[in-house]
Every structure is written in structure tokens, then in C-alpha cells.
């Protein structure tokens, strides 16, 4: 069994979707090994998104991450299943842009935003959930967020 990291973002909490999203994971056969409500600090969120900040060429991106996450609550999860847990979780959550996500995915069912609108408004897209994109990222993100 392998595990992966999932973060339910502030917009999921604000819309009271945490229990529904967790139920989606459970109904898909995933086990929640750890669950924690966490208030986000600047150092952790910058460490979490460091590669994305370096890759994304939008001038407002780092500032919007800080505005969207620092001093906000998130729910962090360690999700366990078979060897393909990372890819299976990413399939379940759907494409980054909720408008393009499969209707059966978490973002497709519960998403209420559009990437192009978010970019035109100079903000992050509200897409409810983050999931690790590789086994290596999962290990790093689990260690970062579940540190004592």
C-alpha cells in the first residue's frame, strides 16, 4: 500500500464541502490514514508551492498564494490505497480548472470557478483540493505538512 498527500483548500472549508469531499474519497475505496485541520503559515505554504512558484510565470502568483493561504485553515489528509494511489487520487479530483474537470470528479461535481476568469481577475482559481503529483512529491508533502 502506498499513500499520498491531499489538502482541502480554504475554499472547500468556506463552502462546507470537507465532509462531502472526504466521502468521495471513501466511496472510491481510499482509506484516510491521517486527517488534520491546520492553520497555514507562510513558510509552510511557500515550501509547499516552491516549484510551482518557480514554474508559473504570472507576476502575481506568489502574492496570491500568500493571500489565499496564510492564516487560513486547510484540512490535510494522508490517503492510502494501492500502488497507483497518486494517479488514482488525481483522477478522482479532476483537472486543475474546475470548468474542464470531468463531471464525475470532485472538481467537476463541486467546482464553481474557471481558470481563465481567475487569471483575468488576478487571483488563484478556487479548485477546492490539492493532491500530490508523484510518489516523490507525496513523500515530501506528507513530511512537510505532518511534521510534529
Pick the catalytic residue from 48, 107, 126, 130.
130
| DSSP classification of residue 100 | G
Question: Could you tell me if 12 and 81 are in contact, meaning their C-beta atoms sit under 8 angstroms apart?
Answer: no
Looking at the structure of the chain, the number of domains it has is 1
The pTM is what? 0.95
The sheet carrying 2-8 orders its strands as 31-39, 73-81, 2-8, 129-131
The domain that holds 26 is classified in CATH as 3.30.70.141
Could you tell me the three cell numbers for 61?
Answer: 502568483
Domain that holds residue 124: 2-145
Q: Which burial class, exposed, middle or buried, applies to 13 when counting CB atoms under 10 A from its CB (0-12, 13-18, 19+)?
A: middle
Spell out the per-residue pLDDT of the chain, length 148, in tens: 899 999 999 999 999 999 999 999 999 999 999 999 999 999 999 999 999 998 887 778 899 999 999 999 999 999 999 899 999 999 999 999 999 999 999 999 999 999 999 989 989 999 999 999 999 999 999 999 998 5
48 given a catalytic annotation: no
The contacts of residue 14 (CB under 8 Å, 6+ apart) are: none
Amino acid at each position: 500500500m502506498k499513500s499520498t498527500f491531499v489538502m482541502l483548500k480554504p475554499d472547500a472549508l468556506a463552502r462546507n464541502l470537507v465532509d462531502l469531499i472526504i466521502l468521495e474519497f471513501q466511496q472510491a475505496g481510499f482509506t484516510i490514514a491521517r486527517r488534520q485541520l491546520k492553520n497555514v503559515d507562510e513558510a509552510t505554504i511557500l515550501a509547499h508551492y516552491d516549484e510551482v512558484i518557480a514554474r508559473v510565470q504570472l507576476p502575481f502568483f506568489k502574492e496570491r498564494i500568500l493571500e489565499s493561504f496564510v492564516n487560513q485553515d486547510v484540512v490535510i489528509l494522508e490517503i492510502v490505497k494501492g500502488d497507483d494511489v497518486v494517479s488514482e487520487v488525481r483522477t478522482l479530483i479532476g483537472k486543475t480548472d474546475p470548468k474542464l474537470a470531468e463531471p464525475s470528479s470532485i472538481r467537476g461535481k463541486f467546482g464553481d470557478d474557471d481558470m481563465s476568469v481567475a487569471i483575468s481577475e488576478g487571483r488563484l482559481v478556487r479548485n477546492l483540493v490539492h493532491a500530490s503529483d508523484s510518489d516523490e512529491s507525496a513523500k515530501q508533502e506528507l513530511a512537510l505538512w505532518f511534521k510534529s
